[in-house]
Amino acid sequence: MGLDHLIDSAYYQYMNSLSITRPLVDAILTGEGDTARIDEECKKLRQVCQMEDFERKQGQKKLICDVSPSVGRYLDLNKEVGAFSWLSAKPYRHLGFELNHQEFTDAIALRYGFPILNLLSQCICGKENSPDHALSCGNGGFTIMRHNEVRDALAEAASHAGLKAVETEKVLLPCDNHNLPHTANTAPITRMDVYGVGLWGRLQKTYIDVKIFHPEAQSYKKKPIRSLYKYHESCKKKNYNRRVVAVEQGGFSPFVMETLGGLAPEADRIVRTLAGRISVKHSGTTYIEAVSFLRTRIRFALLRSTLVALRGSRRKIASIDLGEVDLNLVGVGV
């Protein structure tokens, strides 16, 4: 599953520790005080341990190079910040950290690019269905749903961190009288996914817009994940940064994620900043605990909505138009 075997790694680190500290222990037991010789021996042993660790990592890299390009791609994606946080989470139902058997099986299959069992062969859009298509197709509203799940989890985190005036879908001020770049979004009604005061500085307004993309979509498959992060962050800034700075007198931050859970650099910076504020606000919570929780919370929000998109029906159920029904008459005579 891509996780280190902790028993083996703990024994390896323990033996290294014994080797490095052995000269010092022997000196203490024998009463010898030649510190220069002890330091030299410790230095040599430390270099040996570092070389062994380097060779072990090189072996891991060679193993990755020996697999097929598609498997190697997934292994690279799974190493991204935040992508693996759901695997080590305790299944707390009240936090939404629980998956049933099929959801867990599908999540593992998505993680490594394995075939998804019993998936519909054709999408309602007419194209051949596959996990990659299911996570990219706009029919059914699933791409909007996963975007909104991440948005709400981020707004919740901002509120826990003590940001003021937190809200979602905040409408920006009109920009008719401002000379903005041609790439800027100048629509009369433009909304930001998350708004809050105090993230980057005292009374500083921050506007965050969320972007979720699937790195295995046809147009992205051959591009490095880092370049995809940079591309989507750049697009968001071209659309909104100048308008937010010039009109709103605030700061803009893109929150970019990929469907396997990886966080783009600016998204991770937002999470780490929120975690720092949570650790200060709640004295019993450490920074590491706060970072781990926020990454897991956001990752599960994305994961659960992604799993729904994988198997959810995209076909609309035919029904009457409630807009043409007088609901006051419903139930009359009952």
Each residue's pLDDT tens digit, 122-160: 888 888 888 888 888 888 889 999 999 999 999 999 999
Tens of pLDDT, residues 92-103? 899 889 999 999
Q: How far is CA 29 from CA 14, 39, 43, in A?
A: 20, 16, 20
Q: Tell whether the model's pLDDT for residue 48 goes beyond 70.
A: yes
Distance CA(283)–CA(294), nearest Å, equals 17
3-class SS at 325?
A: coil
Q: Tell whether the model's pLDDT for residue 72 goes beyond 90.
A: no
Residue 97 region by backbone torsions, left for phi larger than 0, else alpha for psi between -120 and 50, else beta: alpha
Tell me the pLDDT band of 14, cut-offs 50, 70 and 90.
Answer: confident
Give the lowest-confidence range in 12-26, 192-206, 223-237: 12-26
The residues pairing with 210 across neighbouring beta strands, listed in sequence order, are 255
The reported pLDDT for the residue numbered 225 is 92
Distance CA(205)–CA(245), nearest Å, equals 10
Q: Strand 205-213's sheet: what is its strand order? A: 164-171, 191-197, 205-213, 251-258
Tell me the pLDDT band of 222, cut-offs 50, 70 and 90.
Answer: confident
Distance CA(286)–CA(21), nearest Å, equals 30
Structure tokens at 261: 């859970």
Section 184-207 average pLDDT: 94
By residue count, the chain amounts to 334
Tens of pLDDT, residues 268-290? 999 999 999 999 998 888 999 99
3-class SS at 151?
A: helix
Structure tokens at 171: 């409408």
Could you tell me which of 8, 12, 24 has the C-alpha nearest to residue 49? 12
Section 112-128 average pLDDT: 86
Q: Tell whether the model's pLDDT for residue 120 goes beyond 80.
A: yes
CB 142 within 8 A of CB 312: yes
Q: Tell whether the model's pLDDT for residue 37 goes beyond 70.
A: no
The reported pLDDT for the residue numbered 82 is 87
Q: Which helix (H) or strand (E) holds 303?
A: helix 287-311
Sign of the Cα torsion 287, 290, 296, 297 reads negative
Say which amino acid occupies 246. Answer: A
Give the lowest-confidence range in 4-8, 55-59, 105-109, 181-185: 4-8
The reported pLDDT for the residue numbered 152 is 96
Tens of pLDDT, residues 243-266? 999 999 999 999 999 999 999 999
Q: Chain-centre distance of CA 22, in angstroms?
A: 43
The reported pLDDT for the residue numbered 17 is 75
CB 82 within 8 A of CB 295: yes
The reported pLDDT for the residue numbered 246 is 94
The reported pLDDT for the residue numbered 332 is 53
Output 331 or 38, whichever has higher pLDDT.
38
Distance CA(267)–CA(38), nearest Å, equals 46
Tens of pLDDT, residues 293-309? 999 999 999 999 999 99
Q: What is the mean pLDDT of the chain?
A: 86
Instruction: Report percent pLDDT > 70 for the chain.
Output: 86
Q: Tell whether the model's pLDDT for residue 207 goes beyond 90.
A: yes
What's the CA angle centered on 130, arms 124 and 133, to 5 degrees? 65
